[in-house]
Amino acid sequence: MAKLRTLTLVALICGIFGVAGAQNLDMRGTAPASDDGRPTRGMTQDRVASEYGAPASRHAAVGDPPISSWEYTNMVVFFEYDRVIHAVMKR
């Protein structure tokens, strides 16, 4: 019985120390934001319109919070209320 308790204790200790590891992510050579011509997060709709012109189409807001999108020839810009939340380049 003592051997079973010892094996159980060893298994628990190995399990605890095996899970407690950490990884480092190498971020050298990366930039915090890409400068590929997309609007940045937080820009207003007015600023996007003044910098990028009128979109080819506008899609009405859907959901709560309201999410709308503007489609340009080379990208789609997504807004929450009147602020950019994401912009993706088309392929």
User: What is the chain's pLDDT, residue by residue, as a tens digit (91 residues)?
Assistant: 777 778 777 777 766 665 556 677 676 765 555 567 899 999 999 999 999 999 999 999 999 999 999 999 999 999 999 999 999 998 8
pTM (two decimals): 0.62
- 23: tokens are 């990884």
Instruction: Tell me if the bond preceding 65 is cis, omega within 30° of 0.
Output: yes
